[in-house]
């Protein structure tokens, strides 16, 4: 693959030491983790589109897909697929979305590569608004997702 012609614009770009997701990866910021392996971490989105909305990101910092090699891209989506099963079972969803944004124009709010796993129910078809869950609700759904992912191992 040739190098991309230019960088993708993102006003959220920060040095790696200041990256919100890097701080979550190394434990400097709290999160509701549902999965972790040597190279990836998955945690609940704090402004979810639905209960169980989970973010899967590599531990290695990179802003967009262009900052990853083909193996890394395949691995993050493999983890997203595994996490999606836990998310769907734990939330009793009827389907799910996989979403990955690159750059501000694509609504990437945190400049660290990540994949959204968003569970959907039929009664919510067409709805795509952010919601706010309590800490208790976040903890409960995170534990449920972790338990379902553990069953897949």
Point out the catalytic residue in the list 40, 53, 114, 116: 114
- The reported pTM is 0.90
CATH architecture of the domain formed by 16-152 = 2-Layer Sandwich (3.30)
Q: Report the Cα 35 to chain-centroid distance in Å.
A: 11
Each residue's pLDDT tens digit, 3-54? 655 677 777 788 888 999 999 999 999 999 999 999 999 999 999 999 999 9
Q: How many Cβ atoms sit within 10 Å of the Cβ of residue 102?
A: 17
Rounded Cα distance, 67 and 118, in Å: 24
The question of whether 114 is a catalytic residue gets the answer yes
Those residues whose C-beta lies under 8 Å from the C-beta of residue 15, and which sit 6 or more positions away, are: none
Say what the pLDDT of residue 8 is: 77
- The residue that leads in pLDDT, 74 or 125, is 74
pLDDT at 2: 61
CA angle in degrees (0–180, nearest 5) for 97-103-107? 50
Which pLDDT band, with edges at 50, 70 and 90, does 65 fall under? very high
Q: Looking at residue 1, what is its pLDDT?
A: 53
Instruction: Sheet with 54-58: list strands edge to edge.
Output: 33-36, 40-44, 54-58, 115-120, 95-99
């Amino acid at each position: 693959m040739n190098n991309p012609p230019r960088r993708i614009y993102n006003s959220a770009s920060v040095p790696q030491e200041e990256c919100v997701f890097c701080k979550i990866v190394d434990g400097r910021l709290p999160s509701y983790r549902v999965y972790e392996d040597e190279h990836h971490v998955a945690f609940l989105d704090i402004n979810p589109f639905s209960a169980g909305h989970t973010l899967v990101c590599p531990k290695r910092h990179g802003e967009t897909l262009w900052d990853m090699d083909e193996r890394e891209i395949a691995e993050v989506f493999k983890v997203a697929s595994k996490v999606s099963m836990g998310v769907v079972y734990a939330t009793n969803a009827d389907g799910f979305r996989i979403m990955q944004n690159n750059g501000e124009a694509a609504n990437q709010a945190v400049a660290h590569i990540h994949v959204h796993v968003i569970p959907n129910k039929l009664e919510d078809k067409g709805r795509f608004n952010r919601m706010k869950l309590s800490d208790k609700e976040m903890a409960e759904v995170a534990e449920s997702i972790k338990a379902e992912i553990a069953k897949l191992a």
